[in-house]
Structure 1
Amino acid sequence: MAERAYEILPGNHGTRVKVNVRGSAVLRIPRLNRGTAFTPEERRRLGLVGLLPAHSTPLEGQLHRTYQRFLAAGNPLQQFAYLRGLRDRNTVLFYRLVSEHLEEMMPIIYTPTIGDAILEFSMMFRQVNGVFLNINAPEVIDESLLAIGRRPEDVDIVIVTDSEGILGIGDQGVGGVEICLGKKSLYTAAAGVDPNRMVPVVLDVGTDNLRLLNDDLYLGLRQARVRGERYDAFIEEFVAGVQRVFPHAMIHWEDFGADNAHRILTTYRDKVCTFNDDVQGTAAVVGAAALAGVRAKGEKLSAQRVVIHGAGTAGIGIADLLVDLMVAEGLTPEQVRQRFWVTASRGLVTDAPGAKARDFQRPYGRAHGEVEHWTLDEPGHIGLADVVRNVHPTILIGTSAQPGSFTQEIVTDLASHTERPIIMPLSNPTSLVEATPAHLLEWTSGRALIATGSPFDPVRYEGVEYTIAQANNAFIFPGLGLGVSVCRASRVTDGMIGAAAQALASLVRISRPGQSILPALNDLRRVSATVAIAVAKAAEAEGVAGEPLTDPVQEVFDAMWQPVYPELIIED
């Protein structure tokens, strides 16, 4: 199999590779293939004479050629297809190209374009370098994981989805494997995690998407989504399988439904090394934006009043981390929770008789006696406008997927009670955003500190250009995964997530009006290294690091794979 066709030798950043195959097999292995960049001598020794055009093109020339091809693609989905094909042909060239144009290409290899690719997965199918596990065959989990061709010590991260909560498009069955492949690409492009040391996995538990079930080309199980005890047993089998086959790997959960995401994280976080990006990654990047925002105001996070509109996976994950960050400033958890108000589909979460709330929302339920005398727009229903009017929050966060729900009335009310409100409309894609940055700046007379979930162009208001921070999880998860792998952490603790948020916030220096409260996406390599160092140090401090740290900066740097053609060791 491909991984046994070559051996990555000890050396600087994995740049020495012993090649054990010859001829056309070399060109079929993405990690070995360098296409027209093979020198005449390498072609002779590897049996490639006659298999490539005569002229050798260095990596720089290949980068120019591939970038022009990328630009010539007709639309984002065609650009995605081109980059996917390049990734499957030439590992180094793909990651070098993406790394040099990361801000431009991230929306193509990940959100929002990857959502369109997932919708077309069965129609556009081509073999993917991932693992498909289905709930009707739990007995072959180990066999399936082994089929990827990695040895136990060769895998640092397993990225897995059950595809129920894909981006803003919901249940997408086995097509969700593309989200795991996209995350894998960002781990490498942003943090230098070796692409060979990650395994994307999709758990096929059926789908409730009737479009897919009635599509003759759909490639997943033709059955309704399995839930309940059988689902939980399958998850347990999967976790046990990963522990047996790849005992050092962190399990990265991606795009699970809200109830499953929280339950799985709660069940396994103290048992195995596991991380949920939608809960913990989103929380960390939003926590960093909040920290940077309050520091720009000269205030403490623990002095803020926080309203979160959308008490789902992301919203409650954000609340949990903000609680931890406030507790670190000296308050008790009970004191801190009194500074939070969260709304769900039925309005403000309370403990009123008959009020319905999910288990993970209950810690944030407000006492019925506190709100029973509020004047409401609609008797019996406490909506977002009611909460803002009565609470006077200083931070307003949207994870509701309710477009336009941060209305002019709500925002002007908010801004009338706080000089510099922090407002984060985080719902993706752009069509679901709670308010646009342009409107928020207009309604707050340019005083709002803003972070969004989707990318927005800079906004000019009253002669000032405002750079809009994008609260993209790519600021957190690549560095976190790198830090975990460097220190061989046995768990991902709340302290490590908090350290990641603090590290990201430390990179922000707001010295003039209009500056972003998060770094630029084109600075991700530095961001990821900073996050990785903080995560590894936190793991060691909390006693969950398997490897001692002697020089964290050097150890993190040495672990970052570089997209350069390696020295080839060719034995004649």
Structure 2
Amino acid sequence: MHLSNIITLAHLRTPTLYKVSCRRSFLRVACLCCSDLSCVVVRKSDNRTTLSSLSIMFSSTRCSFLVIFPLTYLLIPPSQLATSRFAPFPVISNSGLGGCGRVCDARRQRSSPMKVVCMTPPSRSSDRNGSVVLETPLKELKKDSPVTDVDDNSTSAGGPQDVYGEDRATEDQFVTPWSVSVASGYTLLRDPHFNKGLAFSENERDAHYLRGLLPPTVIPQETQVKKMIQHVRQYQVPLQKYMAMMDLQERNERLFYKLLIEHVEELLPIVYTPTVGEACQKYGSIFMRPQGLYISLKEKGKIREVLRNWPEKNIQVIVVTDGERILGLGDLGCQGMGIPVGKLSLYTALGGVRPSACLPITIDVGTNNEKLLNDELYIGLKQRRATGQEYAELLHEFMTAVKQTYGEKVLIQFEDFANHNAFDLLEKYRSTHLVFNDDIQGTASVVLAGLVAALKLVGGNLADHRFLFLGAGEAGTGIAELIALETSKQTNAPLEEVRKNIWLVDSKGLIVSSRKDSLQHFKKPWAHEHEPVNNLLDAVNQIKPTVLIGTSGQGRTFTKEVIEAMASINKKPIILSLSNPTSQSECTAEEAYKWSQGRAIFASGSPFPPVEYDGKVFVPGQSNNAYIFPGFGLGLIMSGTIRVHDDLLLAASEALAAQVGQENFDKGLIYPPFTNIRKISAHIAANVAAKAYELGLATRLPQPKDLVKFAESCMYTPSYRTYR
């Protein structure tokens, strides 16, 4: 095999951080130096297999670096590199990766300091997994400097790169907690990535200078979980519980996720809806420390520089909001940061995406909320919202910078943008970026799954039912479109034909063809031939729907008369009250069951307690997006999908509906319990990945034989690691 066929030399002009994976097949390490900026990428060109990892050497003037060569694939010892195309880069040493001693030797040879963030174990390097991260201190970059994405970001499991040893595939391996140097002592206790509190063993306390900094008792993680859940339960106010959980996340990341996973049904309403809504409203007064990136109009023209300020470089999921439509609470401006933080906590806890690969971002373009503008504790820009070209230019710079900084496969989830921006952004970037709008697509997918499951209780298929929506914004039109797509797929009928069974009511009444000229573009497909109808009750009586769905954000709009009308039309009316938070729900579970004489099949966006009616206990289901987006995101990441296709959303819905068992149907539930959410997410991820491979959108090849097991192997597990 010729060296020229398997080695590529790529020149870079920007000092950039790259992560270098070390797998069991990477047997040697060479310490190199050179005199110009360059990056050596070693990749096998044989089409029979694809390397799941790259060897990377990044250099700047008179600096030395560690480069890992996968000899299993190259079959070329480092000693021969000086006579090859690598002649400008003389080999200084060839050895197994030997730990911090050799790193320090390399550091002394540099004229500019470099930070080692994480490295392999100091012994038996060929038998362990690890990683090396090298970073130059240079921050001033040329505005026109190109960014080359050369990191394949993979692990021994074949999934995303495991910098902290977080994936299940490496959970039995020892890890070394490296920061600027080896994290130890007081610094280690202040690092949420590595802090274990009283769970540090006797040996770890000796090795990392923790003696005297902790009480003498060693407490296992299981006991810590019991202690923390008792601590959270002592608070009566949900916001206080939220603050206790956020404080834990900032102190001990693994304990936070362990606690959330083991008590997910109890804590999900705390870390996300409905409590997160109140947290956003009061974010200015409870703000303690930054939990994500804030990009405001002040950063226009230098967003790439802002992104580089984030300490993690291997980002795979970004949740971004501009704060204009936070849940059903309206414009909360910069205080909407609680939403991306909460969403990404669920990506990790429920979907197994590494916390270090998640980045919450708030785009601050001002706020039109007068109360916030006059609040001295408000943390955002105190100005009216930017609109038009100024807004579009900032968002375009952001989208471009994200792709340049983190690559084409980073998932960007739009969250709580106002209708007029949400649809435009999704339409503009869905063909060039991996984008996903949870309010439009995620809500639609989880509702469709609930409807498919509900059909097993009421009979028939989607084409046999009539749907009436109260609310024609992002959620309403998104759900309607996905229902139409699935119905068209099942019946082979044209999309325009199946849409005729779906009706929407907005603030001006039933959407009909006579209103078409004044409608927003996303409402026009739902303008059918019908006489004008001004209110929901009349629409129910005239359309006679079998399914009533609320996405209006207006509380108590499903009145007693409306629900009684639904019950008179249908033996088992399907009523979905989806608006968040609880105060904005169209009706409560108790109202739905009592006004329908216990015949309604009910689900809501926010949780409601069980209801007793006529001697029977009804357990209301929750149509929560958390069923879908964590597994959906994991499926995109583990398959290396580059674009979101509507068929991927349908695949996620089908997988979720398939997880509803007979024991759930017996209770009137159309969603499975959250206690099995990680198993559910693995099946959703597998179904999404399978569809991505089928559509040719997946780039991580070859396709794993068992996608469910592969998804489980890629999932982050929050159990403590053993430090040497």
Tell me, yes or no, whether TM beats 0.5. yes
CA distance 1:441–1:523, shift in 2 (3 Å) = same
Q: How does 1:211-360 map to 2 (within 5 A)?
A: 211-247=371-407, 248-330=409-491, 331-352=493-514, 356-360=518-522
**Structure 2 counterpart of 1:118, which letter?**
C
Give per-residue Cα distances to partners, 1:123-176, cap 9 Å, x unaligned.
22211231110123222211111111222xx21101111011111211111111
CA distance 1:13–1:87, shift in 2 (3 Å) = farther
Q: Which residue is 1:532 aligned to?
A: 685
Work out the CA distance in 2 between the residues paired with 1:354 and 1:302: 25
1:301 Cα offset (Å): 0.9
1:567 Cα offset (Å): 2.8
| Larger CA deviation: 309-318 vs 511-520 | 511-520
1:557 aligns with 2:712: yes
**Structure 2 counterpart of 1:94, which letter?**
F
Work out the CA distance in 1 between the residues paired with 2:193 and 2:571: 54
1:288 Cα offset (Å): 0.7
**Structure 2 counterpart of 1:554, which letter?**
K
Contact map agreement 1:296 1:510 (CA 8 A) in 2? no
SS class of match (1:139): coil
Give per-residue Cα distances to partners, 1:440-461, cap 9 Å, x unaligned.
2233232221111111112222
1:459 aligns with 2:581: no
Higher relative contact order (CA 8 A, sep 6+): 1
CA distance 1:436–1:77, shift in 2 (3 Å) = closer
| Larger CA deviation: 124-133 vs 282-291 | 124-133
| Larger CA deviation: 426-435 vs 212-221 | 426-435
1:409 Cα offset (Å): 2.3
1:46 Cα offset (Å): 1.2
**Structure 2 counterpart of 1:81, which letter?**
M
Structure 1 spans left out of the alignment, 5+ residues: 373-380
Contact map agreement 2:167 2:717 (CA 8 A) in 1? no
Work out the CA distance in 2 between the residues paired with 1:461 and 1:49: 59
1:5 Cα offset (Å): 5.6
Q: What RMSD in Å do the two structures reach over aligned CA positions?
A: 1.8
Contact map agreement 2:431 2:643 (CA 8 A) in 1? yes
CA distance 1:524–1:3, shift in 2 (3 Å) = farther
Which residue, 332, 357, 360 being the options, matches 1:200? Answer: 360
1:11 Cα offset (Å): 7.1
Work out the CA distance in 1 between the residues paired with 2:575 and 2:660: 17
Structure 2 spans left out of the alignment, 5+ residues: 1-113, 120-162
Q: Which residue is 2:117 aligned to?
A: 4
1:527 Cα offset (Å): 1.5
Q: Which residue is 2:327 aligned to?
A: 167
**Structure 2 counterpart of 1:363, which letter?**
P
**Would you tell me which structure has more helix in proportion to its own residues?**
1
- TM-score, normalization by structure 2: 0.74
Work out the CA distance in 2 between the residues paired with 1:321 and 1:276: 13
Contact map agreement 2:166 2:717 (CA 8 A) in 1? no
SS class of match (1:169): coil
Give per-residue Cα distances to partners, 1:514-559, cap 9 Å, x unaligned.
4201111222112211111111111111111111322211210111
| Larger CA deviation: 411-420 vs 522-531 | 411-420
Which residue, 420, 423, 428 being the options, matches 2:572? Answer: 420
Q: Which residue is 1:124 aligned to?
A: 286
Contact map agreement 2:515 2:527 (CA 8 A) in 1? no
Contact map agreement 2:185 2:208 (CA 8 A) in 1? yes
CA distance 1:354–1:552, shift in 2 (3 Å) = closer
Work out the CA distance in 2 between the residues paired with 1:71 and 1:438: 26
1:59 aligns with 2:226: no
Work out the CA distance in 2 between the residues paired with 1:81 and 1:252: 25
Q: Considering only CA atoms, is the larger Rg found in Structure 1 or Structure 2?
A: 2
**Structure 2 counterpart of 1:175, which letter?**
Q
**Structure 2 counterpart of 1:19, which letter?**
P
Work out the CA distance in 2 between the residues paired with 1:72 and 1:440: 32
Q: Which residue is 1:378 aligned to?
A: none
SS class of match (2:389): helix
**Structure 2 counterpart of 1:92, which letter?**
R
Which residue, 76, 84, 87 being the options, matches 2:246? Answer: 84
1:114 aligns with 2:276: yes
Q: Which residue is 1:75 aligned to?
A: 237
**Structure 1 counterpart of 2:697, which letter?**
V
| Larger CA deviation: 502-511 vs 54-63 | 502-511
**Structure 2 counterpart of 1:468, which letter?**
P
Work out the CA distance in 2 between the residues paired with 1:64 and 1:212: 39
Work out the CA distance in 2 between the residues paired with 1:167 and 1:2: 41
Work out the CA distance in 2 between the residues paired with 1:66 and 1:450: 34
Q: Which residue is 1:438 aligned to?
A: 590
**Structure 1 counterpart of 2:547, which letter?**
I
Q: Give the % identical residues.
A: 38
**Structure 2 counterpart of 1:547, which letter?**
R
1:79 Cα offset (Å): 1.2
**Structure 1 counterpart of 2:660, which letter?**
V
1:543 aligns with 2:696: yes
1:53 Cα offset (Å): 1.2
| Larger CA deviation: 11-20 vs 325-334 | 11-20
Work out the CA distance in 1 between the residues paired with 2:336 and 2:118: 29
Contact map agreement 2:555 2:585 (CA 8 A) in 1? yes
**Structure 2 counterpart of 1:221, which letter?**
L
SS class of match (1:393): coil
Q: Which residue is 2:669 aligned to?
A: 516
